Amino acid sequence: MAEYVLEASNLSRIYNKDTENAFEALHPTEVQIEKGDFVAIMGPSGAGKTTLVMILSLLDKPTTGRIKLDGRPTYDYSEKELANYRNESLGFISMDLILWPNLTIEENIALPMTIAKKNKAEIKARVLEVAKLCGIEQILKKKPDKCSGGQRQRAIVCRGIVSNPKFIVADEPTGNLDSKNSHEVLGLFQQLNQQGTGVLLVTHDCQVASYSTKTIYIEDGKISKVLERKDRSQQEYYEELVELTSDNIEELF
C-alpha cells in the first residue's frame, strides 16, 4: 500500500474571501506525495503554484480542504506539534528566504537544529556533512555578505535539508544559479530522494522538472495535466515536458 508523507484533499484558496475582491486562486485540488516521490509543479505565471506550495508547506491555510501529514490530519496536531513538524520534518527552500547577516554561514545552516535544541556536537557534524554535500564547507566561518550569490543559495539549500526532513518543498530553488550549480543542487535533491526524502519542487523550467518522477501542471488554479516519468530516460521525459508546456506557449500567439 502507498505510504503518503502528505495527502491533501479538496484544497482551495480564496484570497480576500467575503469581499468584493474575492479571488479563487486555487480551485478544489487533490495532491498526494508518497514517500520517495519527486514531484515538480509547473504552470504559467499566476496559475496558483506559489499559493499551493505555501499551503502544502503549512505557511498558509487553505480556505477549504484538509491536509494529512504521515496519515494524521493537521487539525489533530497542536500548534507546537505543527511548528516542530515544520522545523524538523519539512525542508522549505525558496530563494526569497534570507540568511541572517549577523550569523556565519555555519550558524545560519544550523538554525533548524539549534531551534530543535539538538546537541552542539551533533549540529556541528551534520552542518559539515550537508555543507560538503553542497560543496560549501570552505565558507562555513564566513558571514553571508562575504560569499557569492551561488554560495548563499547553496547555504539556503543546506539549511533546508540539515534536519534530514521527510520532504523538501522548494520554490524555484535554482532560480539564480548557473547551469552547473543548478545541476549539482538538483543532483543532490535526486540523491536525497533516492534515499527516501520526498521532494516537491516548483519550477517554470523543463530541465529542472526533468529531475522529477512526476510533474503536475497547473493552469488557472486547477491541475490540468499530470505527467509521470515512469521508465523514460531523463532526456525523453524532458522532451515530453517541453511538449506539454509548449501547448501553453502556443496559445499566447
Which residue among 12, 49, 108, 227 contacts ligand ADP (CB under 6 A)?
A: 49
Measuring CA to CA, which residue among 6, 1, 10, 11 is closest to residue 70? 6
Stretch that binds ligand ADP, among 38-46, 63-71, 126-134, 223-231 (CB under 6 A): 38-46
Kindly state the cell numbers that stand for 251. 496559445
The 3-class secondary structure across 197-238, one letter per residue, is: CEEEEECCCHHHHCCCCEEEEEECCEEEEEEECCCCCHHHHH
Q: What would the 3-class secondary structure string for 102-152 be? A: CCCHHHHHHHHHHHCCCCHHHHHHHHHHHHHHCCCHHHCCCCHHHCCHHHH
Least distance in angstroms from the C-beta of 14 to ligand ADP: 9
Q: At closest approach, how far in Å is the CB of 185 from ligand ADP?
A: 20
Report the candidate in 126, 130, 187, 122 with the shortest Cα–Cα distance to residue 157. 130
Least gap, CB of 153 to ligand ADP (angstroms): 19
**According to CB under 6 A, which one of 6, 48, 110, 208 is a site residue for ligand ADP?**
48
- Which DSSP symbol is given to 56? H
Q: Which of 15, 27, 28, 207 binds ligand ADP (CB under 6 A)?
A: 15
91 near ligand ADP, judged by CB under 6 A:
no
Q: Which is nearer to ligand ADP, 21 or 179 (CB)?
A: 21
d(CA 65, CA 34): 19
Q: Does 62 bind ligand ADP (CB under 6 A)?
A: no
Number of residues that bind ligand ADP (CB under 6 A): 12
Name which of 16 and 179 has its Cβ closer to ligand ADP.
Answer: 16
Q: Does 17 bind ligand ADP (CB under 6 A)?
A: no
Residue 203 touching ligand ADP (CB under 6 A):
no
Of residues 60 and 137, the one with the C-beta less far from ligand ADP: 60
Tell whether residue 94 is a contact of ligand ADP (CB under 6 A). no
Task: Quickly tell me which residue has 475582491 as its cell.
Answer: 21
Q: Which residues pair with 228 in a beta bridge?
A: 214
Work out whether 47 is an interface residue with ligand ADP (CB under 6 A).
Answer: yes
Three-state DSSP class for 156? Answer: helix
Instruction: Cell numbers for 26, please give them.
Output: 486555487
Stretch that binds ligand ADP, among 39-47, 63-71, 143-151, 238-246 (CB under 6 A): 39-47
Beta carbon of residue 218, minimum distance to ligand ADP (angstroms, whole number): 7
- What CA–CA distance (Å, rounded) separates 193 from 138? 26
Binding site for ligand ADP (CB under 6 A): 15-16, 23, 25, 43, 45-51
